[in-house]
Each structure stands twice: as C-alpha cells, then as structure tokens.
A and B are shown apart, each in its own frame.
Chain A
Amino acid sequence: MSEKPLSLFDRPNSYIGRSIPRPDARRLLEGRGRYVDDVALPRMLHAAFVRSPYAHARIVEIDASAARSHPGVVSVYTGALMAEHVSPYVGVLTHLAGLRSAPQAPLAVDVARWQGEPVVMVLASTRAIAEDAAGLVEVSYEDLPALCDPRQALSPDAPLLHESLGSNLAWTRTVDVGKVDEVFARDDVTTVSQTFQFGRHTGVTLETRAMLADFDPADARLTIRYSGQAPHMMQAILAKHLDLLEDSVRIIAEDVGGSFGIKIHTYGDEVATAAAAKILRRPVKFVADRHESFQSDIHARDHVVSAKLAVDADGHIQALAFEDITGIGPYSMYPRTSAIEANQVLNLTGAPYVMEHYRATAKVVFQNKNLMCQYRAVGHPIAMAVCDGLLEEAAAAIGVDPVDIRQRNLIADNAYPVKSASGMVLDDLSHHATLQKLVALMDYDRLRDEQREARVRGVYRGIGFCSMVEVTNPSPAFYGVGGAPIASQDGATVRLDAGGGIHISSSVTEQGQGTHAILVQIAADAVGVPVERVRVKTGDTDTVPYGGGTWASRGTGIGGEAMLQAGLALKSQILDVAASILQSEPGALDVRNGDVTDRDGNVRISLSDLARTVYYRGNELPPDVKPELIATRHYRVTDVPFVFTNGAMATSVEVDIDTGLVRILDFWAVEDCGRVINPQLVDEQVRGGIVQGIGGALYEECLYSNDGQLLNASMADYLVPMAAEMPDIHVAHVETPTKTSALGAKGAGEAGTGGAPAALLNAVNDALRPLGASIWQMPMTPERILKAVGKV
C-alpha cells in the first residue's frame, strides 16, 4: 500500500504557506469599501456631543433650550436624561482580585472626570446642524482640582476621584519569586537600575470610531453597524445595558478602517448612540471627528517603571525587580478593564530569559485624563523595554556584547515546556534560533565595524536588540474567567453550495490583517477546492457562529483552527455522499481542486454535480442516505492560558546629537509565529506592527498640561510615523508550530509593536554611550535626547 498520506500542509498544491492575494483587496482598491459612515438610512439622525472642557469639574447646570429649538434638532440628552435609559457599567473582572472602579454612565451626570468626556448629546438632521446646536448648549461647571500625575494621586492627602472608593488606587498586584533582596545584597553581582517612563499614546485608526444604530419597534430589534473587532461582545454589552434580549441586538461590522485594539471597548458616545436609536425608534449615526478621537479613543501605556537588574560576572541574570505605576484615567474601561496592561507587564517582563529571582509590583491608579486601556501589544512594549533595556545596560557595564549576553541568558530552545519566573507556561519557542538568524540577517559584525568607523567621524550610530515573547491565542483565562461577556472560543461554518463553491463564515473579524484570506486558504485546503470558489462572511451576529472576534492575536490561531476542523468535517461529509453516489468507499476517494477524485487524482464527480444531486435530485440517493453538506466547528485553547510566540529584533540608528533627531537606518525582525499560513500577510503584520512600535518609541504622545488639558488633539500636533522617516524592514521567520492545535499557527499581529520600542531604546543608548549619556523615556523626542546629552 501507499506510504503515510501527505499531511494537509505538505500537499503539493497546498494554499497554506502561500502568499495569495486577499479576497477583499480589489474592492477596497476601487473605492467600493463599506465603512460605517458610507451607509445612510432613511430618517437617519446624526449625533454630536458637547464634551467637558475641564479635566475635573462639577456640572452645575445645563441649559439646552437654545439647542432644542434650533431648526433641524430632534432631541437633546443630558447625562441625567440618558442615564434613565442605560444601566450603569463598571469595568472590573473577578480574576483581577481587588480591582475597583466606579459606575459609569454614557454621558457625565454630576461630575466630568476627563477633558473630552461626553456631557450632552445633540441629535439633528445633519452632523453640521448637530454641531451647530451643540455649540448652543450652555453648561455651567465648577472647576475641581485635576489629578494628573499617578504618583501624586497615590499620596495620602490627594483628593479622591471617586469618594466611594476611598483611594485613587484601582488595583495592585505583586509577583515575588525567589529571594530578590538577598541577590541584590550580594557583592558578586553587578546591578543596574533605571526609571523608565512610557508616555501615553493612542491608536489613531484612520477611520475614526463610528456607529450607525437602528431600532425597529415592530420586533424590538436593535441593529448596529459598528466599526470594531468584537461583534458578539458588543451584542452582549448593548443588550445588557439597554435592557434588551441579546438576540434582539444584531451587530454588523463590515469594513473596519483600522482598529489596533481601539475599537473593542465600551464608549459612552457609542452607547448613547444606540440608546438614542432605541428611544427615538429611528436610525442614529455617530462618527467621531479626529478631535473627539484623540480625546476619547482609549489611550495606551502611561507607565513609570523603577527597575533594577543584577547579573553575575559572566552576565547571567541573577534577579530582576521593579515597580510599575500606571495611570488609567478616571475609570477602568468596561468590560476588559484597564488593569490588564499592568498585569501583562508583571507576567511578561523577563519571560525570554532564565531567571530565578523576580519581584514585580504594579499599581494601577485613577487620574483625570482620558481612559487608558488595551491597545496593540498590551503591556509588551513596557515589559520588553524594561528587561532588555536593563540587560543591555548590564552588558555594557560588565563589557559583554549584547548578543552574547542574550545567548547566555535566553531559555534554551530544547528546554520547553518551561515556566517563566512569573509563572507563564512557555512552549514551542525558539529564542536562540531566531537570534542566530537575526545576527546573520543583519550582518552584525559589519555593522559594528561601520559603527566604529562612524564614531571616528563624529557620527553617533547605535545598534539595539530585543528578544521578546508575545501573548497570542488566549484561552478563557484572559477575560471569560473573570466574568466578561467575551468569548474565548471561535466558530466556523463551511457549506457546499449547489454551484460547487463553498461558503464559509467565522466569528473572527477582519480589520485589514487579511483574516478573510487566511480563512479562505484554510477552508480551501481543508475541503479541497480552489480559493476562487470560497466566499467568506464575517462580522454579523445574525449569520456567523458565536465567538470572540479578532484581538490579542487570536484570529488565525483560534479562528483558523476552527475553520480547519469545519473544512475537514465538510470534506468527510462530501466523501460519505460521494461514496454512496459512486458506490465506493470514502477512504478510496479524495476531494481535489473542486472535484471528488480517486486516490490517484482521477476525477469521479465534480462537487457541483454532487451538490446538485443532493439538493435537486435527492430521489437518486438511497433513502437511508441523509446528507449534510454543512459543518460547524468551534475551537478554544485548552492546554495553556496563552500560546506564546517569540521573536528577535534589531535596529541600527543614527542620532544627531546637535538636533536630537533619531534616524532609523535599518530594522530587522525574525519572528516565530508557528505555522505561517500566508507569508506575505505575516510579514506585513510584522512590518506594520514595528512601525506602530516606532511611533510609540520616537513620536507619538498624548501631551497633557498639568491641569489635564490634552494639548495636541489634532493630526497636525500628534505625530504618527510618516512614509519618509520609516525604514525598509527585513523580516524572516523560524517556524515552530504550536502543539496546541492541528493548524499549529500562533499570532503575529502585535509582535512588532511589542518589540520595536525596546530595540530602539537600546540602539539610541548604544549611540549615546560614548557620550556617557542615556535616555529612558519614550517617546525619545529630540528635546529629551538633547537633555540626555546635556545640550539643553
């Protein structure tokens, strides 16, 4: 007989591992996208919001009479009026023991707690009229002291943001493993310590947050078109707080113009939009303008980390200890909470390295700034910059090369499974292999030669590295276990249609990553049809299986595995029917390129003929054959809380010590995301992620005045990476499939954003080292670099 059949991934024409173009891309290239604001409905109203001009103020009186009588205005809601229709929400999860927050309403009721908090909603026939009328609303405020610095907010005499909570500390957690104090007291270790500051930045999705809500009173149905990543979560949230059955709420997410974690949260202006549609029984659209986006889209980071690392004379890590204080705004964001990032920092810092003694404390603090919550690579940039920043500092202190010190400390590739110092289960990682490949890819020795040569000419170049892990494919341990209505499993349905094509649907969503392409490739391979014959549907709670959506780098690893299993199940159904029609055995048949074939590939019946026989001429089948040509499978990660990936990155920069400008000369990344389904899409995720990481490291910062005024809430003032400053980025892979699934795929979407800042920090400090200067604050702006080198 034949040898072991080729696996799905080894078949000669397998789509898995090939860069096929995305099925949506042509449509988007021809201006045929359908983003929320592209849809208009009859009788649609437009919402505009009056937002608090103060970071902290009591709302004394609201006079909306002029707005209400403005021509074209249909309705005006104050916070108190809106609160009659929406039950309050609190951003806590039970598995984050001790996390506290205060109840939130869509619009501020008595007190506004950040500049930009929505206070009054105006609904009118056009957005322009709604904005005109919003300008006529008179709100009297009593200014209250603004608490902006989290460290000050923790002082005993600080005023309280929420009287009922008794302090401004939302959450704290300490991980304490080994004998940290004893290690730092030893006289045979070298200790380096620094205070790192990570500024606030935000996602700047090019499509701003948007919602179009419609309510049909005939069957009490709320239909929401929203720009976001988690339709079923939104269904549960809006149903709960608008007092509807979950099945009465339909969430549709068509084209989404970027998300990056911004669009998976509960925003008051969006809840108010849905509520207004329900109250007024007509469509209501809200599209944030850019100013509103900067003021109200969640911000990210905002950490101050005091950290120290001890190494022995050989550079082996002996202990790592730090305290992270993070400001999260006046509330913990609902429903994912604003404590997850700090928790990730505790879980991930130092995870690539062998480490016995580890102590980390996080303090999550309320303040009068916009809410902070999960954005791409949650916690990773902080965790990686702290450990790898100190590691390179220690390497310099004891005179060891940064590659060398990593090789001495990275967990061995054959050591898995192991637990990190913080207790994370790590498996199927390849730190040494990725680093080795990186060093070859970048031609490290040549770069060092060039750096030395440049220094002779008075040019300050630096090379920096990062070895990292990324959390992907989360299990219920991330949110579900803590009580959030967020599915950790995803579903896929695959159906053979009469024409011989297959229709697939999935609960993971597309925001440009190429989710649809991945799903199509997997389904086409699993069933045995050409990709051109696969139609894909996501983003509609009425038609897709129940699931979590796309976030935390889970789309391919979880949604893809569900699709693989559903496709294999349909194939099995097809073979059963075919065996009956052809008077053969399922094991003697296969499905290849849209046809049922024998094992040698000779066509026996096309899928179209088979489907038409089943659907149209069932009389030709034996009565006991009752075919199903549709299969649904669900998948969740069960073996571990998270499936970690790893990667190694490096960058070469040139710092102009007269202007403080950093020029990125080159960037390299070697990723191990397990089985690569579509190399081009993975590379583009890595590149796009790195550029967002560069943004956070060099340019992007939400700047606040001491009294909580956001100073740069415009595209002109908030810097994002532009084409001219960005380098070409070299990407390579090591593939260590995860054993937790048949597909073997892990996530890849966040690694770049998580690792790039650490590599850049190290590169800049490598460049500044001959000057005896260093910088530990991001973004590393020209002014901060000039301060670091003592020029200003």
Chain B
Amino acid sequence: MSPAPDRHTISLTVNGEAVSEDVPARLNLVDFLRGTLCLTGSHVGCEHGVCGACTIEVDGVSVRSCLMLAVQADGTAVWTIEGLAESGRGADLRAAFLARNALQCGFCTPGMLVSALEYVEAGGTADRSAIREHISGNYCRCTGYQAIVDAVCDVIEGRAP
C-alpha cells in the first residue's frame, strides 16, 4: 500500500547555518526541523495549515511549515524562533510580549512571533484592527489576543522615529 518513500538530499540554511540532509519525500518541513534538526521551537498544532503554531520564515516570507515539504525547502534560507532569538532580531517584540504577558502556555508563541514580526518589519502601523487581522491565522487559546495586540503596538510605537 505504501512503498518505501523516495528520499532526496536537500541543502539549505537554517538559522544561518548550512544544512544538508537526506530526507523522505513526504517529510513535512516542520517535522524535518523538529525531528531531524532538533529545532523543537516550531510547534505542530494542527498539521493542516490552520492554527499557525508552526509558522516560520522561508526566504523572508512567513510560511506554515506543516504545509511545506522538506524537499521544497531545498536551497532556501529558513529562520525559526531559535535563530531569531539568538540573532537578536525581534528582541523588542519578545521583550514586549514579556512585559504584556502576551503568552500563556507558549505553544502558539513562536509562530505568533514570526507573524507579528512580519507585520512590524513590513512597516505595519499600530492599528489594532489591522494587527488583529494580520495575526488571525495564528490561533491562541489562552490569551484572548488583546495582550498580543498590545505588545505589537508597543513595539511599533517604540520603533517609530
């Protein structure tokens, strides 16, 4: 019924480091990151592209890593929450999340941060409904979202020249 899956060698950079691995064709990118590379900061919440917990950055664009195969990431530059934290990128956003308690259980948080950072870095304004619209693809069951919106607004206002 299911023959041994095809395997392919992929080469990419993950959090700035060159990675080359032999992977099954059917392996999801998030499973590759979590299982093969032990980058467990990206979370699996639904495996069908709805909840946003697995959101990462691929070639500068936020991507649901449960909807992308590892083989599709061949040749790309991938950033996960671990790399963002170590590089310092989005440090003000993480500090604002901390100050506002914009996370409770923390499971949605890595994906939420990637989506929020995308909004902030694209020059999004501190418009609460626009922020809410932007993060609507990231489910949070704990906070009710308000503190997250507060944190994003704080960062935008803090970054304003």
Contacts and interface: CB of A to CB of B under 8 A. Distances in A.
- Max chain B CB contacts within 10 Å: which of A128, A136, A203? A128
Contact of A726 (B38, B39, B146): B146
Interface in B101-117: 101, 103-110, 113
B144 A690 contact: yes
Given A28-B109, A260-B141, A723-B138, A290 B47 contact: yes
29 contacts: A21-B101, A24-B106, A29-B97, A29-B98, A31-B39, A31-B82, A32-B41, A33-B40, A37-B44, A71-B4, A128-B24, A132-B1, A135-B2, A136-B1, A206-B53, A258-B105, A258-B141, A290-B46, A290-B48, A290-B51, A514-B101, A514-B104, A681-B101, A687-B147, A716-B48, A721-B145, A722-B136, A723-B131, A723-B133
B99 interface: yes
Nearest to B150: A728
B108 to A, nearest CB: 5
A79 interface: no
A175 to B, nearest CB: 34
Contact of B128 (A205, A692, A728): A728
Given A29-B97, A32-B41, A688-B104, A289 B132 contact: no
A513 interface: yes
A9 B131 CA distance: 39
Contacts of B101: 19, 21-22, 25, 514, 680-681, 684
Given A257-B106, A260-B141, A688-B143, 10 more contacts: A25-B103, A40-B35, A205-B105, A207-B105, A258-B142, A290-B47, A290-B48, A688-B142, A724-B132, A726-B146
B29 interface: no
A724 B136 contact: yes
Interface in A224-268: 255-260
A720 B26 contact: no
Interface in A281-335: 287, 289-290
A195 interface: no
Contacts of A258: 104-105, 107, 141-142
A555 to B, nearest CB: 13
- Max chain A CB contacts within 10 Å: which of B51, B141, B142, B144? B144
A204 interface: yes
B43 A257 contact: yes
B48 A715 contact: yes
A25 B97 CA distance: 9
Contacts of B44: 37, 287
A722 B139 contact: yes
B11 to A, nearest CB: 23
B47 A206 contact: no
Contacts of B40: 31, 33-35, 37-38
A259 B51 CA distance: 16
A26 B146 contact: no
A289 B141 CA distance: 17
Contact of A33 (B84, B106, B144): B106
B133 to A, nearest CB: 5
Nearest to A259: B105
A258 B106 CA distance: 8
A714 interface: yes
B71 interface: no
A511 interface: yes
A691 interface: yes
Nearest to A71: B4
Contacts, number: 179
B81 interface: yes
Given A720-B139, A722-B136, A724-B129, A30 B81 contact: yes
A32 B41 CA distance: 6
Contacts of A287: 44
A511 B85 CA distance: 23
Contacts of A34: 40
Contact of B139 (A690, A692, A715): A715
Contacts of B26: 128
Given A132-B2, A290-B45, A715-B139, A28 B103 contact: yes
Contacts of B34: 37-38
A512 interface: yes
A109 interface: no
Given A29-B113, A128-B26, A132-B1, A723 B107 contact: no
B105 A511 contact: yes
A551 to B, nearest CB: 15
B70 interface: no
Contact of A30 (B82, B138, B147): B82
B46 to A, nearest CB: 4
Contacts of A722: 136, 139
Nearest to A722: B136
- Max chain A CB contacts within 10 Å: which of B81, B131, B141? B141
Interface residues of A, number: 61
B65 interface: no
A729 interface: yes
Contacts of A31: 39-42, 80-82, 84-85, 110
A207 B85 CA distance: 22
Main secondary structure of the interface of B (DSSP, over half): loop
Contacts of B103: 25, 28-29, 512
- Max chain B CB contacts within 10 Å: which of A681, A688, A728? A688
Main secondary structure of the interface of A (DSSP, over half): loop
A715 B50 contact: yes
Contacts of A33: 40-41, 106-107
B82 A206 contact: no
Contacts of B128: 728
Contact of B99 (A21, A208, A716): A21
Contacts of B1: 132, 135-136
Nearest to B97: A29
B105 A25 contact: no
Contacts of B63: none
Nearest to B42: A31
Contacts of B85: 29-32
Interface string B122-140: 0000001101110110111
A685 to B, nearest CB: 8
- Max chain A CB contacts within 10 Å: which of B42, B104, B132? B104
Contact of A723 (B94, B109, B148): B148
B149 interface: yes
Contacts of B48: 290, 714-716
Interface string B41-74: 1111111101101000000000000000000000
Contacts of B136: 722-724
Interface string A699-739: 00000000000000011100011111010110000000000
Given A25-B97, A29-B94, A206-B51, A715 B144 contact: no
Interface in B1-47: 1-2, 4, 24, 26, 34-35, 38-47
Interface in A556-589: none
A208 B107 CA distance: 10
B103 to A, nearest CB: 6
Contact of B144 (A135, A289, A687): A687
A551 B128 CA distance: 33
Contacts of B43: 35, 206-207, 257
Nearest to B108: A206
Given A692-B141, A726-B144, A255 B106 contact: yes
A135 B2 CA distance: 10
B136 to A, nearest CB: 4
B39 to A, nearest CB: 8
- Max chain B CB contacts within 10 Å: which of A71, A135, A207, A692? A207
Interface in B80-101: 80-82, 84-85, 94, 97-99, 101
A724 B41 contact: no
Contacts of A290: 45-48, 51
A723 B105 contact: no
A88 B140 CA distance: 37
A257 B149 contact: no
A715 B143 CA distance: 18
